[in-house]
């Protein structure tokens, strides 16, 4: 008798470079958690950045994952093929008055930027410059960025499976740790936050395993899930691998690529042993 699969995890790489040890460690944790729960592990190709996503990086990554011993269940979900789904979600947000057009230039945004913490994400706390009144509604127009309106002063909390209780304040400036964030870009593509929230629900993901640099993104995605009526999965963020000097691997230009180690003669077992 087979029992129904209750755990669904996912790997969600962006094919914008070679897989390095830091990603591999997170993916290994994701794979181990799915395996120990006798669950499924899906793969989503987050290729919505046309400037940086390259098919050759996808091919290299698939090969590196297989070499490392990470198996995932096909079919691969490809975000660039799902734009209509994300657009429908944006329209739902616009209808509810929860998203608005933002015409701030890169320069305007730079002026709002506080130096991001090294382990944090890079999205500055938006000061609300383009925020319309709460009763305002808009349709979708091309060539414009759209932001999600966060509830001012609200605390978004969740319990991370690895790091325990987390809580971040939403709002425009002040004490807020995150503000109105991008959901749609003027090139007609969704932001990472929107595509991720929509897809984790569409793929019935029950637990998201990813690096701790995305902790704050989790609160943004929880807000999107609530606004779109989607379920919130469990979250398990992983510690980021650092080099001997304590620098995050992902921040190093020469972050150790898995295939470099492989060319140097490392075995998959030796690489996995580094993940502890």
Residue 196 is a binding residue for ligand GLU (CB under 6 A): yes
CB 238 within 8 A of CB 275: no
Interior/surface letters 92-128, b for 16+ CB within 10 angstroms, e for the rest? ebbeeebbbbbebeeeebeebeeeeeeebbebbbbbb
What is the torsional sign of CA 74, 29, 15, 255? Answer: negative
- Chain centroid to Cα 64, Å, comes to 21
Alpha-carbon gap, residue 34 to 61, rounded angstroms: 19
Residue 13 is a binding residue for ligand GLU (CB under 6 A): yes
- Residue 46 or 207: the one with the smaller Cβ distance to ligand GLU is 46
- Residue 184 or 236: the one with the smaller Cβ distance to ligand GLU is 236
Q: Which stretch binds ligand GLU (CB under 6 A): 6-14, 55-63, 181-189, 230-238?
A: 6-14
**Lookup result for tokens 């830091």:** 22
Structure tokens at 32: 């181990």
Residue 210 is a binding residue for ligand GLU (CB under 6 A): yes
Give, as ranges, the residues between 14 and 33 that touch ligand GLU (CB under 6 A). Answer: 14
- Residue 43 or 196: the one with the smaller Cβ distance to ligand GLU is 196
Contacts with ligand GLU: how many residues (CB under 6 A)?
Answer: 7
Could you tell me the smallest distance in angstroms from the CB atom of residue 210 to ligand GLU?
A: 4
- Residue 201 or 214: the one with the smaller Cβ distance to ligand GLU is 214
Residue 46 is a binding residue for ligand GLU (CB under 6 A): yes
Instruction: Point out which residues bind ligand GLU (CB under 6 A).
Output: 12-14, 46, 196, 210, 214
């Amino acid at each position: 008798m087979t029992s129904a699969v209750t755990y669904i995890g996912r790997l969600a790489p962006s094919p914008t470079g070679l897989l390095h040890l830091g990603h591999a460690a997170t993916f290994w944790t994701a794979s181990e958690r799915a395996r120990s729960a006798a669950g499924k592990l899906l793969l989503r190709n987050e290729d919505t950045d046309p400037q940086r996503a390259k098919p050759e990086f996808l091919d290299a990554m698939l090969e590196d994952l297989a070499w490392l011993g990470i198996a995932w269940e096909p079919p691969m979900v490809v975000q660039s093929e799902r734009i209509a789904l994300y657009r429908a979600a944006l329209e739902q947000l616009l209808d509810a008055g929860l998203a608005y057009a933002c015409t701030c230039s890169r320069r305007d945004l730079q002026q709002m930027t506080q130096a991001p913490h090294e382990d944090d994400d890079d999205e500055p706390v938006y000061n609300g410059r383009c925020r319309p009144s709460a009763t305002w509604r808009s349709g979708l127009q091309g060539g414009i960025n759209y932001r999600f309106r966060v509830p001012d002063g609200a605390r978004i909390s969740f319990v991370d499976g690895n790091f325990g209780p987390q809580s971040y304040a939403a709002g425009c400036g002040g004490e807020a740790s995150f503000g109105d964030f991008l959901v749609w870009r003027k090139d007609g593509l969704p932001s990472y936050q929107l595509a991720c929230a929509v897809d984790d629900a569409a793929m019935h993901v029950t637990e998201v395993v990813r690096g701790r640099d995305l902790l704050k993104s989790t609160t943004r995605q929880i807000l999107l899930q609530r606004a779109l009526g989607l379920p919130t999965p469990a979250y398990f963020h992983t510690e980021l691998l650092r080099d001997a000097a304590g620098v995050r691997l992902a921040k190093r230009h020469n972050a150790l690529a898995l295939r470099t180690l492989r060319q140097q003669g490392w075995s998959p077992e030796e690489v996995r042993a580094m993940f502890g």
